[in-house]
Amino acid sequence: MYICNLENVCKYNQLMNKGIPLSILLFISLVILPKTAATAQNADSVVTPQMQREILSYIASDDARGRAAGTQYCRFIADFIRDEFARYELLPYNGGDYYCQFRLPNMHMGRNIAGIVPARRKTDKYIIVSAHYDHMGAINGYVFNGADDNGSGVTVLLGLAKIFSAMKNIGFNSRYNILFVALDGKEADMSGSKDFVKKLKIPKQNILCDINLDQMGSSLEPVHKNGRPYVIILGKESLPPDARGVIDMANAVSGLNMDIDYTFYNSKKFADYVYKTSDQIVFRNAGIPSLLVTCGFNDHTYKTTDDVDIIDFDMMYRRMMLLYHTICHF
């Protein structure tokens, strides 16, 4: 279990180099932390790494034939995501429908899937969690299953949707509405995110940020050789100044203690390039603060060997829980 405690708050205090008055520390330890620990414990039990393995094994199975946008196989996975949203009792984003249809560049039909977990109190503010579910399909008889890219991102998105829905049902949820969007057409000129942003039903100024998940499953390219679970998060500078510390705070207070890299292996030029290669750039270009959350590239990216057996499910679970705590702390 990843439960916050006073020791972790003190670690965060040192990390941020800010003094916390003793009275506030006592209030946190006696009032805030016990409640947060209980809800964290509840959240930990909603989704397990084994559940994630089962979902990802379905999304990235040979039967899905690589999920090329516009194919019947991609539609099968779209229907699966839609049904999961309904099972978690997310509110349909598009009137009574989870589907937001659009035309792909080849004029076939694309389908974004979007659902909402409402905030615990009425608000017009939103956090978006997005991940593309399409991949490369089958080329010359070779199937590109795309387990890490991006079956893993969709699996984490579904896990977060399930957790926040469960938390809502016991009276603990985010301060903000959470809009979960499974995007189609990323491998087709990011056509799904472009259409979704173009037709947004929410005023852009009401969106705190988009958290885009793209490759969340492997542990093959650690940021540092320290053995710690790691994650790469790009775009923090797009957040409002008062929100830029929320990820580190969530990491410390939750006790996850992950190795978070905001630089893409200390290469600003490559970080800028990578940031522009997935759907978060579409939200960012529209004026919406946007994060890319990823495990980085590996030797299997865009290859037929990107299968479930390269996924580190324990680490993927920890990355999901970091995002859960981050959203809770917004």
Which residues are within 8 A (CB) of 45 and not within 5 positions of it... i.e. 6 or more apart?
Answer: none
Degrees, nearest 5: CA angle 183-184-185: 125
pLDDT at residue 12, as a whole number: 43
Question: Per-residue pLDDT tens for 50-78?
Answer: 999 999 999 999 999 999 999 999 999 99
Query: Residue ranges of the chain with pLDDT lower than 70?
Result: 1-41
Question: Per-residue pLDDT tens for 142-151?
Answer: 999 999 999 9
Per the rule left: phi > 0, alpha: psi between -120 and 50, beta: everything else, 198 is alpha
pLDDT at residue 226, as a whole number: 86
- pTM of the prediction? 0.90
pLDDT at residue 1, as a whole number: 40
pLDDT at residue 312, as a whole number: 98
The CATH fold of domain 6-329 = Aminopeptidase (3.40.630)
User: SS3 for 79?
Assistant: helix
pLDDT at residue 169, as a whole number: 84
pLDDT at residue 215, as a whole number: 98
Which amino acid is it at 2? Y
Cβ contact 112:100 at 8 Å: yes
